[in-house]
Amino acid sequence: MRRRLFIGIGVVIFTFLMVAEVDAQAHKKNAFKQSLRNSFKNWYLDINLGSLLFYGDISYNEMTVFAREPWDYRLGEGIIFSKRIHKTMDARFQFLNGRLAGVKRENSLGYSVDEYFLASIREVNANLLVNISKIAYPRVYDNRFTYFVTLGAGMNFFRSVKRALFTDKFVNGVGYSNLGETKAGRLSTLVFPCSIGTNMTMTRTLSLNFEIGYRFTSSDKLDATVSGAKDHYSYVDLGFKILLGSQK
């Protein structure tokens, strides 16, 4: 009888210790998750995909968007890490990868040129997002649709090659050697991005972004052509914005 009593007491103590250990582990796990969420408080990740369009020497109807060669529109993909620093402002760090392209069939005098270029770009920049909706309607706590503008600065690392349109003969290249057949070191240029956009909140942690951006650069070599006028390009994208940690 006494033996059974000791065994019963032992089982109770063992069960209590096991429950306490499981509870302690669960508490540590929850504490770790909360600590991780607090570490990324007000941090967001934006994954986007869009269209790049070049404005420069080797482009047809360069100041228009729709009257363009299909060749001119190129795919770009980007990642943005952003930090909410004020209820009306975000600090953003952006990486953009893609290609630029253009076709030139004739010059300003009407003479045939028939050249094209293709460039590979890698852009990094830091910019400030200003939430226009929060400024215009500060008393509205939760806007499903918000509108914003951005302005920033960064660097673009690129290489570009220009060829004859119909024969594909090498004409000129930057960041290439061996008549455009071998990749060499990328060139760099300052880039100054600005954009307007809208954000649609879908859930507490997920939203949809649409952004129209323009890039001013300090280089005239993005199209492997030097004329004295700086080259520019635009990026129109659609992306998903994800809340990484807790939200203030």
pTM above 0.85, yes or no: no
The pLDDT tens digits of the residues spanning 33-61 come to 555 456 668 899 999 999 999 999 888 65
Residue 109 has pLDDT above 50, yes or no: yes
Q: How confident is the model at residue 77 (pLDDT cuts 50, 70, 90)?
A: very high
Q: 214 vs 22, which has greater pLDDT?
A: 214
Residue 39: predicted pLDDT: 64
Helix or strand or coil: residue 229?
Answer: coil
Half-sphere exposure of 47 (CA within 13 A, CB side): 4
Q: How far apart are CA 176 and CA 184, in angstroms?
A: 5
Report d(CA 180, CA 168) in Å as an integer.
11
What mean pLDDT comes out for the span 71-75? 91
Q: What's the rounded Cα separation, in Å, for the pair 179 and 199?
A: 45
Mean pLDDT of 211-227: 95
What is the distance between the alpha carbons of residues 120 and 161, in angstroms, rounded to a whole number?
A: 9
| Dihedral sign computed on CA atoms, order 15, 18, 24, 28 | negative
Which of 12-26, 28-42, 47-61, 211-225 has the lowest average pLDDT? 12-26
Please, which residues have CB within 8 angstroms of residue 42's CB and are 6 or more apart in sequence?
83, 84, 85, 245, 246, 247, 248
How far CA 133 is from CA of 144, 147, 193, 219, 243, in Å, comes to: 10, 6, 21, 35, 19
Q: What residues does each domain of the chain span?
A: 1-39, 42-243
Phi–psi pair at 190, nearest 5 degrees: -70, 145
d(CA 162, CA 146): 42
CA dihedral angle for residue 65, residue 70, residue 74, residue 75, rounded to 10 degrees? 100
Spatial separation of the C-alpha atoms in residues 32 and 65, rounded to whole Å: 50
The residue type of 88 is T
- What tokens appear for 29 in the block? 């796990």
Instruction: Round to whole Å and give the CA distance between 63 and 61.
Output: 6
Architecture of domain 42-243: Beta Barrel (2.40)
Place of tokens 């706590």: 141
- Other Cβ atoms closer than 10 A to 176: 18
pLDDT at 174 over 90: yes
Q: What angle do CA 212, 195, 215 make, to 5 degrees?
A: 90
Residues 6+ apart with CB under 8 A from 188: 155, 156, 157, 158
CA–CA gap between residue 55 and residue 215 (Å, rounded):
10
The residues, any chain, with a CB within 8 Å of residue 32's CB and separated by 6 or more, are none
Summarize the confidence of residues 91-108 as an average pLDDT.
91
Which pLDDT score is estimated for 168? 92
